[in-house]
Structure 1
Amino acid sequence: MSRYLENVKKYVDSPNETAVEALVGHLGLALDSHDSSMVAATDPDELARIKSGYCSTTLDLTPEEAEKAITAVCEKMAGDTAKCRVTFYYLLADVSGSMHRLAA
C-alpha cells in the first residue's frame, strides 16, 4: 500500500490514507499485473470504461461530471507517462468532490 500512497503524494500533499487503502482493496487483482495497474490515458476505450464503470458506479457521477473529472486528471497527470491506476482513481474522486464515497 505504501508505494501507492507515495505515488498519490506526487499530486496531493496530504492524501486520505483510508481512501488509498480502499482503492487498493477495490482494484485488487488489477494491481497484480503491471499493465492493468496503469491507466492508458490516450486510449479512448479505456477512458470510456473508467467513465462508465468506476466514475458511474463507485463515484456516482453523471457522464458529464465523469468526463470533466477525467479531463482534469489527465491534464494533472500529463507529465507522468506511467499513470498509476490507484492515483488516477484517487484523483478522480478528489477533483469530482466524491472522496466521501471512498473514505466512508
Structure 2
Amino acid sequence: MSKHLEEIQKYDAGADASIVDNMAKTYRLVLSKRDSAFVATSDPDELKTVRENFLKKKLGLTDSDDKLDAVIAEVAEEMKADRMKERLTFYYLCAKKTGKLSVFA
C-alpha cells in the first residue's frame, strides 16, 4: 500500500487505490518538493491556487468562487487535526466532495 493511500484512508477508508495512484502520477513533481507537497490552508494565495488550478482547471468545475471556497473550507476543517495537510489527500477529498474522482479513474 502506498503512503498516499494510507494517508487518504484516514479520511476515506474505502479510497480506490487506482484513483490514488493516478492522482499520485499526475502530481508526482509537485509531491516531490517539500514546499509544494502540502497545502497551507492559512495562506489565501494557496487556497486561491487550489480553487483555480485544481477545482476549476483540473476538475472542470464551473461553480461560483464562493461555492468552491466552501468546498476548500470543508476539507480544511476535516483535516484540521493534521498540522501538515498533504496535498494529495487535500485534492482527493476535494474531488470526492465535488463528485469528480472519476477525473482520475
Question: TM-score, normalising length from structure 1?
Answer: 0.91
5+ residue gaps, structure 1: none
Q: 1:51 maps to which residue?
A: 51
Q: Are the equivalent residues in 2 in contact too, given 1:39–1:85 (CA < 8 A)?
A: yes
Q: Distance in 2 between matches of 1:101 and 1:64?
A: 22
Match status 1:7 vs 2:7: yes
Q: Are the equivalent residues in 2 in contact too, given 1:39–1:84 (CA < 8 A)?
A: yes
Task: Give aligned pairs, total.
Answer: 103
Q: Distance in 2 between matches of 1:18 and 1:69?
A: 24
Match status 1:78 vs 2:80: yes
Q: In terms of mean alpha carbon deviation, does 25-34 or 39-48 score higher?
A: 25-34
Match status 1:16 vs 2:21: no
Shift of 1:34: 1.7
Shift of 1:68: 2.2
Q: Are the equivalent residues in 2 in contact too, given 1:65–1:96 (CA < 8 A)?
A: no
Q: 2:104 maps to which residue?
A: 102
Q: In terms of mean alpha carbon deviation, does 3-12 or 20-29 score higher?
A: 20-29
Identity %: 34
Q: 2:69 maps to which residue?
A: 67
Q: Distance in 1 between matches of 2:15 and 2:66?
A: 25
Q: Distance in 2 between matches of 1:64 and 1:21?
A: 30
The residue identity in structure 1 corresponding to 2:12 is: V
- CA RMSD in angstroms, aligned pairs only: 1.3
The residue identity in structure 2 corresponding to 1:52 is: E
Deviations 1:2-49 (A, max 9, x none): 010100011001101121111111112111112211110111000001
Q: Distance in 2 between matches of 1:55 and 1:30?
A: 16
Shift of 1:59: 1.2
Q: Distance in 2 between matches of 1:42 and 1:59?
A: 23
Q: Distance in 2 between matches of 1:5 and 1:73?
A: 17
| 4+ aligned runs moved over 3 Å, structure 1 | none
